[in-house]
């Protein structure tokens, strides 16, 4: 596996699908670890996690033991909790199949752990542990079992912990196999992050995710073909950004051009400019509607107005005339899209100019909507021979690429990035950043970052930050940088104590950039 710079490629960050995890386990078995030893290790590690949270255990525990090895994990957990003095019961909703699990259940009964004949009462205050199917599940589960767990969850009297993957949830897509899946308060993920658990569709089911370390070695991780990494706010402390020499002039500290806003959406221009300025780029310029240009000096006097966008009869911006007067060779990056509105004829006239820009072209919002309605459609990206980044939300993405299908959004983004030779920020609750062979997925991010205007702020911020990177690296930029920019934007939302509006988060972003670079210099 080719090394990724940020974050570190380790078990905490690496993301795999169910097949990859099973292959890793089989390799461990071929290297001498027995299945019994692995099940015992998993069960003990999970028990240690639970024993540190005594409030979960004080009302007793019911372990749901499945027919396979996940059920074996559950049996070990039941044994460990029982031996530590807790009131433990277990129930087997399906006939046991694996010999290891059958033997563990026999041992449980020999210890005196109560085996339930009937389903447990969903109105009790006890903790339920879902150890039914885990990572190996491939099809829908008996709906009565799912409904029993959901009743428990909805009663909110005692919590639900799922082992590895909530029962009924696909570990690869993050979607229920049928209409529903177990809703857990906690999912204890064994070994490595499962890709399905990080998807937006899985959020109603997984609760808080906690990774259970089972001692996978660095050599084993390096053999995996997975190139997907999970990013959380804990990774802020390891993020590094380019720090230019103190004697570098403003014109060599990043030059970005924003083509944003319209009479219909003037606020988008203001927010994109605010985002670019918060990046610390040396030279931020803009082509904006006359309505915005007349007042911009009062709120963002640092920005240089390079042109004015006229509007059509519907208030949408016309780009073509303004583009004809710009020396594009001067800019490291160009941002087009936030608030420009739709005008298909104008886009067709402007296409040749945008295809020929040799710097980084960042396309967002209405630029993407214009492409989806254009004659070229998504072939625009194939025609363009230079670095291109797009930042769609899910609906914009599907309008651009309606015929591409994968099991989850990460694989979808990576396939499109490969097929069209672009880098993608696919926005969502757990945003995804991808190129043709790598992906980063944000997880546990601030819900307040999904608000009107913050996408415009983000576009400008990416434009400014990328221009700095390009100045620093000599016109060479990696998709990892896009992952960092998206991460910092979300992190600033979580750190903004004064509120969650785009304007306030823009101020927080500026402070965060200074804080990050100051840490690097200290």
Give the E-state strand segments of 247-342 in sequence order. Answer: 255-259, 283-289, 304-311, 317-318, 333-336
Residue where one domain finishes, among candidates 198, 225, 252:
225
Give the E-state strand segments of 302-437 in sequence order. Answer: 304-311, 317-318, 333-336, 360-363, 388-390, 423-426, 432-434
Residues 348 and 449 grouped into a single domain: yes
Are the beta carbons of 210 and 228 closer than 8 angstroms? no
Residues 288 and 201 grouped into a single domain: no
Kindly state whether residue 9 falls inside one of the protein's structural domains: no
Are the beta carbons of 457 and 502 closer than 8 angstroms? yes
Kindly state whether residue 396 falls inside one of the protein's structural domains: yes
Q: Which residues contact 477 (CB under 8 A, 6 or more apart)?
A: 360, 387, 466, 469, 470
Look at residue 179 and give its three-state secondary structure: coil
Residues 286 and 430 grouped into a single domain: yes
Kindly state whether residue 6 falls inside one of the protein's structural domains: no
Radius of gyration of the chain (CA): 26
Kindly state whether residue 4 falls inside one of the protein's structural domains: no
Closest CA to 344 of 322, 375, 385: 375
Residue where one domain finishes, among candidates 225, 252, 287:
225
Kindly state whether residue 5 falls inside one of the protein's structural domains: no
Residues 210 and 162 grouped into a single domain: yes
Structurally, the chain folds into a number of domains equal to: 2
Kindly state whether residue 230 falls inside one of the protein's structural domains: no
Are the beta carbons of 24 and 234 closer than 8 angstroms? no
Closest CA to 465 of 492, 438, 503: 492
Residue where one domain finishes, among candidates 225, 248, 263:
225
Kindly state whether residue 124 falls inside one of the protein's structural domains: yes
Closest CA to 129 of 83, 89, 169: 89
- Exposed / middle / buried, residue 343 (Cβ in 10 Å: 0-12, 13-18, 19+): buried
Residues 214 and 247 grouped into a single domain: no
Bridge partners for 111 per DSSP: none
Residue 298: how many CA atoms within 13 Å on its side-chain side?
Answer: 5
Find the CATH number of the domain harbouring 466. 3.40.1190.20
Dist. CA 107–CA 125, nearest whole Å: 26
pLDDT tens digits, residue range 337-348? 999 999 999 999
Residue 128: how many CA atoms within 13 Å on its side-chain side?
Answer: 33
Residues 245 and 209 grouped into a single domain: no
Total-model pTM: 0.93
pLDDT tens digits in sequence order for the chain, 522 residues long: 444 589 998 999 999 999 999 999 998 998 899 999 999 999 999 999 999 999 999 999 999 999 999 999 999 999 999 999 999 999 999 999 999 999 999 999 999 999 999 999 999 999 999 999 999 898 888 899 999 999 999 999 999 999 999 999 999 999 999 989 999 999 999 999 999 999 999 999 999 999 999 989 888 888 887 789 999 999 999 999 988 777 777 778 899 999 999 999 999 999 999 999 999 999 999 999 999 999 998 889 999 999 999 999 999 999 999 999 899 999 999 999 999 999 999 999 999 999 999 999 999 999 999 999 999 999 999 999 999 999 999 999 999 999 998 889 999 999 999 999 999 999 999 999 999 999 999 998 766 555 557 999 999 999 999 999 999 888 789 999 999 999 999 999 988 877 778 889 999 999 999 988 888 877
Look at residue 461 and give its three-state secondary structure: helix
Dist. CA 383–CA 371, nearest whole Å: 12
Residues 219 and 265 grouped into a single domain: no
Residues 386 and 509 grouped into a single domain: yes
Are the beta carbons of 306 and 285 closer than 8 angstroms? yes
Are the beta carbons of 296 and 260 closer than 8 angstroms? no
Token pair of 223 as six digits: 């053999």
**How far, CA to CA in Å, does 190 sit from each of 39, 44, 182?**
11, 12, 17
pLDDT tens digits, residue range 407-465? 899 999 999 999 999 999 999 999 999 999 999 999 987 665 555 579 999 999 999 99
Length of the chain: 522
Residues 249 and 139 grouped into a single domain: no
Are the beta carbons of 355 and 278 closer than 8 angstroms? no
Strands of the sheet with 114-115, listed across from one edge: 114-115, 88-91, 61-65, 127-131, 160-163, 186-190, 208-212
Residues 56 and 154 grouped into a single domain: yes
Kindly state whether residue 2 falls inside one of the protein's structural domains: no
- Residue 516 has a CB neighbour count (10 Å cut-off) of 18
Residues 213 and 347 grouped into a single domain: no
Bridge partners for 388 per DSSP: 361
Find the CATH number of the domain harbouring 105. 3.40.50.10260
Query: Where in the sequence is the domain holding 193, given as residue range(s)?
Result: 14-225
Residues 318 and 205 grouped into a single domain: no
Q: Which residues contact 489 (CB under 8 A, 6 or more apart)?
A: 275, 449, 454, 457, 458, 461, 505, 509
């Amino acid at each position: 596996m080719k090394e990724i710079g940020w974050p570190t490629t380790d078990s905490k960050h690496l993301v795999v699908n169910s097949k990859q995890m099973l292959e890793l386990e089989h390799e461990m078995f071929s290297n001498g670890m027995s299945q019994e030893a692995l099940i015992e290790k998993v069960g003990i590690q999970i028990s240690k996690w639970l024993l540190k949270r005594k409030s979960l255990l004080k009302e007793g525990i019911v372990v749901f033991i499945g027919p396979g090895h996940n059920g074996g994990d559950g049996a070990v957990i039941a044994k460990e909790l029982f031996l530590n003095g807790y009131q433990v019961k277990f129930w087997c909703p399906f006939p046991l199949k694996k010999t290891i699990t059958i033997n563990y259940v026999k041992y449980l009964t020999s210890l005196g752990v109560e085996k339930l004949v009937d389903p447990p009462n969903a109105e009790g205050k006890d903790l339920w542990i879902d150890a039914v199917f885990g990572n190996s599940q491939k099809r829908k589960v008996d709906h009565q079992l799912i409904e029993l767990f959901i009743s428990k969850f909805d009663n909110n009297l005692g919590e639900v912990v799922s082992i590895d993957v909530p029962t009924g949830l696909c570990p690869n897509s993050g979607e229920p196999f049928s209409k529903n899946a177990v809703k857990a308060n906690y999912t204890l993920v064994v070994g490595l992050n499962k890709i399905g658990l990080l998807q937006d569709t899985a959020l109603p089911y997984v609760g808080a995710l906690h990774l259970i370390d089972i001692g996978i070695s660095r050599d084993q991780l390096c053999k995996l073909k997975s190139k997907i990494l999970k990013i959380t706010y804990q990774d802020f402390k390891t993020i590094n950004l380019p720090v230019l020499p103190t004697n570098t002039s403003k014109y060599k500290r990043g030059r970005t051009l924003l083509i944003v806003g319209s009479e219909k959406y003037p606020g988008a221009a203001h927010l994109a400019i605010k985002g670019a300025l918060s990046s610390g780029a040396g030279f931020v310029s803009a082509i904006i509607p006359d309505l915005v240009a007349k007042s911009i000096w009062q709120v963002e006097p640092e920005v240089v107005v390079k042109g004015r966008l006229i509007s059509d009869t519907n208030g949408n911006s016309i780009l073509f005339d303004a583009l004809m007067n710009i020396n594009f060779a001067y800019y490291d990056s160009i941002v087009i899209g936030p608030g420009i509105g739709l005008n298909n004829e104008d886009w067709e006239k402007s296409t040749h100019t945008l295809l020929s820009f040799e710097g980084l072209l960042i396309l967002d919002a209405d630029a993407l909507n214009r492409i989806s309605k254009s004659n070229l459609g998504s072939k625009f990206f194939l025609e363009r021979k230079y670095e291109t980044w797009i930042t769609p939300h899910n609906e914009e993405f599907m309008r651009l690429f309606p015929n591409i299908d994968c099991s989850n959004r990460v694989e979808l983004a990576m396939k499109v990035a490969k097929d069209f030779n672009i880098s993608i920020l696919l926005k969502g609750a757990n945003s995804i950043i991808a190129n043709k062979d790598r992906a980063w997925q944000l997880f546990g991010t601030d819900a307040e970052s999904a608000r009107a205007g913050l996408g415009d702020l983000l576009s400008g911020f990416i434009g400014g930050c990328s221009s700095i990177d390009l100045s620093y690296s000599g016109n060479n930029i990696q998709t990892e940088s896009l992952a960092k920019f998206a991460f910092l934007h979300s992190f600033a939302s979580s750190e903004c104590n004064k509120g969650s509006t785009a304007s306030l988060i823009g101020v927080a972003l500026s402070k965060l950039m200074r804080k990050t670079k100051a840490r690097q210099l200290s």
